[in-house]
Amino acid sequence: MALIVTLIFLSSGLFLGWSMGANDASNAFGTAVATRMIRFSTAAFLCSVFVIIGAVTSGTGAAEGLGQLGAINALPGAFTAALAAALTVAWMSKVGLPASTSQAVVGSIIGWNLFSGSPTDLGTLRRIVATWVISPVLGAIFAMLLYKLLVEWIRLTKPHLLSLDRNTRSGLILAGIFGSYAIGANGIGNVMGFFVAASPFRELSLGPFNVTSVEQLFLIGGVAVAVGVYTYSRRVMMTVGDSLLTLSPLAAFVVVVSHSLVLFIFSSTALESLLASWGLPTIPLLPVSGSQAVIGSVLGIGLLQGLKGVRQIRWGVLGGIASGWITTPLIATVIGFVLLFVVQNVFGQEVFHPLDQVLRPAAIERFNGAGQPPVAVVAPGLAGF
């Protein structure tokens, strides 16, 4: 019975996975499909396979950044927060806007924090919101530099139109595979991270291989993403790849690579330690939105072409997409809050465990030093601070 209940609660995570597949696959293969360089069926197959590989092999620990924002501590709460994020992303997909799953998840976690009275770590929130601005800007800068370099290289080498087409196509496939792997590795934490503590699976031994319960959880999450890719991602792919600015295949390649680079610098521990070893400021490792990086890259290519490119950008579509960046977390927060209320009060589920929390000794000393009366008990949600 407990297993059935757990599986029911897991269903919202699968729904969120499906929504992510419908939406985020466009970041890896959207421009390639929209420019007709790769068939949708090929893109969907490659994307699904590599999302699953990324999720199972590198998915663990991907949700750490979001964990700092707020740790949902009850399974019904996780179910509800995941459902809120999934409903938000599914609705955005339905209207053809590339919503960010990580934005929706951030919104639903804040909704849970508000509902449970837990504090939101404003420092982490500020850093996450800052990446929502920085990632499209970085995407644009990478796209401009990369496009300029490639154009110069083509001018020098003068490849035949067909050779250029073949190389661009191969590049798009490789970049799409890398992007899909990154979506699986980084995104699956957003989708199934809610349920890691409550995984109903047991460790499996398949000959020399051991499959942990978390890997099994991420595997079914990855399959849900793959189903989303196959069933609903086509429309968003066309929006990202074609509606904003008509892209050439070369520009499509640049967009996918720029998007992957942005994801890489915000998630690479190797880069972080390299920068630190050189005494340079490090880049915070946070979940960034691939959709925003893609849109930034497309805009970068438009802007590179000067006034002609600026005129070609469909600003109305961009306005719709950008408004989605503001409304996605807000909608997810509101839906999350309302659903938590419904689940708690209508279905009688405990959506959070109230925690008795104490202040750290240093904080108590600060209070005492400031002439405040000694504090014994304390506001909830400050454990760990």
Partner 1 sequence: MSNETPPLFGKTRFLEGLIDEFLDKISEGILLVEMGIKSYLVNNEETDICLEKLNQIIEIKRRCSELRRTIVTMLYTEMLLPDARGDVLRLLGSLFELLDEMGDNYQELMIVQPRRLPEFGSDFSDLTDMAIRSVQAVVVAARTFFRTPAAVRDHINEVRVFEDETDKLAWRIKRRIFAADLSFEHRTQLREAAAMIDALADKAENIGDNLSIFAIKRSL
Using CB under 8 A as the criterion, which residues of the chain lie in contact with partner 1 when the complex forms? 35-37, 39, 151, 154-155, 158-163, 165-166, 248-250
Please give the helix or strand (H or E) that residue 211 lies within, else none: strand 209-211
Alpha carbon separation from 55 to 12, 152, 226, 289, 369 (Å, rounded)? 18, 37, 11, 17, 49
What DSSP character marks residue 206? E
Are 147 and 301 in contact by the 8 Å Cβ rule? The answer is yes
Q: Which of 249, 193, 200, 242 has the alpha carbon at shortest distance from 65? A: 193
* Class of residue 211 by CB neighbours under 10 A (exposed 0-12, middle 13-18, buried 19+): middle
Shortest Å distance, C-beta 309 to partner 1? 12
Nearer to partner 1, 170 or 368 (CB): 170
Nearer to partner 1, 78 or 252 (CB): 252
Shortest Å distance, C-beta 293 to partner 1? 23
Shortest Å distance, C-beta 242 to partner 1? 11
Are 217 and 196 in contact by the 8 Å Cβ rule? The answer is yes
Shortest Å distance, C-beta 34 to partner 1? 10
Nearer to partner 1, 165 or 272 (CB): 165
Nearer to partner 1, 36 or 353 (CB): 36
Nearer to partner 1, 160 or 202 (CB): 160
Nearer to partner 1, 164 or 364 (CB): 164
Shortest Å distance, C-beta 37 to partner 1? 6
Shortest Å distance, C-beta 23 to partner 1? 24
Helices (H), 183-305: 188-192, 213-238, 249-267, 269-277, 290-304
* Count of residues in the chain: 385
Nearer to partner 1, 121 or 165 (CB): 165
What gap in Å lies between CA 59 and CA 50, rounded to an integer? 12
Contacts of 64 (CB under 8 A, 6+ apart): 189
Nearer to partner 1, 159 or 284 (CB): 159
In the chain, what are the helix, strand and coil shares in percent, each to the nearest 5? 75, 0, 25
Shortest Å distance, C-beta 147 to partner 1? 8
Q: How many CA atoms lie within 13 A of 112 on its CB side?
A: 32
DSSP sequence for 144-173: HHHHHHHHHHHHHH---HHHHHHHHHHHHH
